[in-house]
Amino acid sequence: MNQLDALKQYTTVVADTGDFKQMAAYQPRDATTNPSLILKAVQKPDYMPLLKDTVARFRGRPLDEQMDRLLVRFGCEILSIIPGRVSTEVDARLSFDTAASLARAQRLIELYRAEGIHSDRVLIKVAATWEGIAAAEQLQRLGIHTNLTLLFSFCQAVACGQARVQLISPFVGRIYDWYKKAAGAAWVEADHAGAADPGVQSVRQIYHYYKKFGITTEVMGASFRNLGQITALAGCDLLTISPDLLAGLAASEAPLTRALDASNPAGSDQAQLHYDEAGFRLALNEDAMATDKLAEGIRAFCADAARLDQLLLV
Question: What is the set of active-site residues?
Answer: 125
Cα separation, 267 vs 3, in Å, equals 28
**Which helix (DSSP H) or strand (DSSP E) does residue 174 occupy?**
helix 173-183
Query: Reduced to 3 DSSP states, what percent helix, strand and coil does the chain have, rounded to the nearest 5?
Result: 55, 10, 30
**Are 286 and 25 in contact, with CB atoms under 8 Å apart?**
no
Q: What is the DSSP string of 147-166?
A: EEEEE-SHHHHHHHHHTT-S
CB proximity list for 249: less than 8 A, separation 6 or greater: 2, 3, 4, 7, 227, 230, 241
**Are 230 and 224 in contact, with CB atoms under 8 Å apart?**
yes
Quote the strand ranges of 61-217, DSSP E: 86-89, 122-127, 146-151, 167-170
